[in-house]
Structure 1
Amino acid sequence: MAEDIKLTAYNVRTKEKGVPIQDAVITKTAKGAYMVQGHDGKGNKLTTLCNEEKAMNAIKAGVAKQGW
């Protein structure tokens, strides 16, 4: 699979959409959803939710770390 996997989020502080997440860690919530947490490289924290398929593909590709 030569997919180009990008994890992006909305930056609440700067009001930008599609900001790439750096040093991403994927965790599972209590209800079973997948949450991606990281930063934008400028000191702003980013968090977003994604589906299981996207989360597992990002972990396999090395884009994110598994946090559970």
Structure 2
Amino acid sequence: MENTQINCPVCQTPIRIEVYSLLSGVKFSCPNCSATVGLCQSSYSKVETAMTKFEELKVKAGRA
């Protein structure tokens, strides 16, 4: 599972997210101000494509 963090759009506190959960519709809350972060439905395919390409690059880099 790919874990990362993004800054809260309200207070800039880092929010830890799990990318594949985000893609499946899970929303994450800021631990500081409780703002909710999620993907709009129109972004799912773009993010999923980017993650697939990223995973492919990681595999290729591991072979080099």
Confirm or deny a common fold (TM above 0.5): no
How does the TM-score come out when normalised to structure 2?
0.35
Higher strand share: 1
How does the TM-score come out when normalised to structure 1?
0.34
- The higher radius of gyration belongs to 2
Higher helix share: 2
